[in-house]
Amino acid sequence: MFNSNGLDAAMASFSKPEAGNATKFDRMAAQYAAGCPTHPFQTHIFSTDPLIIYIEDYLSKAETEYLLELAVPYYRQSPVSKGYQLEAYDREIRSSMSAVVPDDPVVSCIEERSVGFQGYLPRANLEDIQVVKYGVSDHFRPHFDWFQGMANPRLSTFFVYLACDDLVDGGACTGGATQFPHYEGRFPATWCQFIDCEDDSGVGGVAFKPVVGNAVFWENLYPNGTGHPGVWHAGMPVKKGRKVGLNIFTRRDKWVPEQQ
């Protein structure tokens, strides 16, 4: 369960929001503290090998707005991992801003939803969730979320879309797809509501559009614990506006922050 100190920290972290928003977020946190709301979402199995599941409405509009506001004071340049060690920042590989958000009732309920989706794995296996913000030209080159020789590997990944907008003209962002270059399967035209069926990046594979509130979930490992090459993926460059996402990683065993 969430730590009540986290609620105080979260509420204090909102960086001078409008009074109405402060009241709205306070009220929402109090509601979630009283009990996680039932939240319906719809799943679509895109691939079974590797397992990739597309989830519609994984987060509510209110939850995406809450996380966007909560993350503001915590943004730092996103690091790059090589092997299982965090390395120096390299904007050629990864250019974005990341925010590890504090635990509070809303975050706690999203974490509970995520472990429940996976068959109620221990919540202690979740990493702290991270909000990631991409501006124009920001990207994350193809990479794995698992690393060879990792003592406590990442079993799975959720990437949830929190925002895809242009704060200048009020329109939607363009670019910023989540691309799986190694995917070789076929999919019917009905998937084009979620997939960029006119992708002209030249990268190949499949590109999931950043649709706010929706998520892509995938398993990183084979049953024997080795990494699956099919989940090689990239955050494609944002062409216009901004994309904001949420990373939720699940480890095989209890996660210890110092143990990358």
- Return the pLDDT at 81: 75
Nearest alpha-carbon partner for 208 in 177, 186, 185, 187: 177
Q: Which residues contact 245 (CB under 8 A, 6 or more apart)?
A: 131, 132, 134, 159, 160, 161, 162, 210, 235
- Return the pLDDT at 7: 45
Q: What is the token pair recorded at 41?
A: 């979402």
Parse the chain into domains and list their residue ranges: 4-251
Distances (CA, A) of 162 to 19, 60, 84, 130, 131: 22, 10, 27, 12, 9
Cα separation, 255 vs 129, in Å, equals 12
Cα separation, 246 vs 249, in Å, equals 10
Q: What is the token pair recorded at 198?
A: 């006119």
| Residue showing tokens 């969430």 | 2
Per-residue pLDDT of the chain (260 residues; tens, 9 = 90+): 445 444 444 444 444 445 566 789 999 999 999 999 999 999 999 999 999 999 999 999 999 999 999 999 999 999 887 654 556 678 889 999 999 999 999 999 999 999 999 997 899 999 999 999 999 999 999 999 988 778 899 999 999 999 999 999 999 999 999 999 999 888 999 999 999 999 999 999 999 999 999 999 999 999 999 999 999 999 999 999 999 999 999 999 999 986 66
3-class DSSP state for residue 164? Answer: strand
> What's the fold here for domain 4-251?
Jelly Rolls (2.60.120)
Cα separation, 25 vs 12, in Å, equals 11
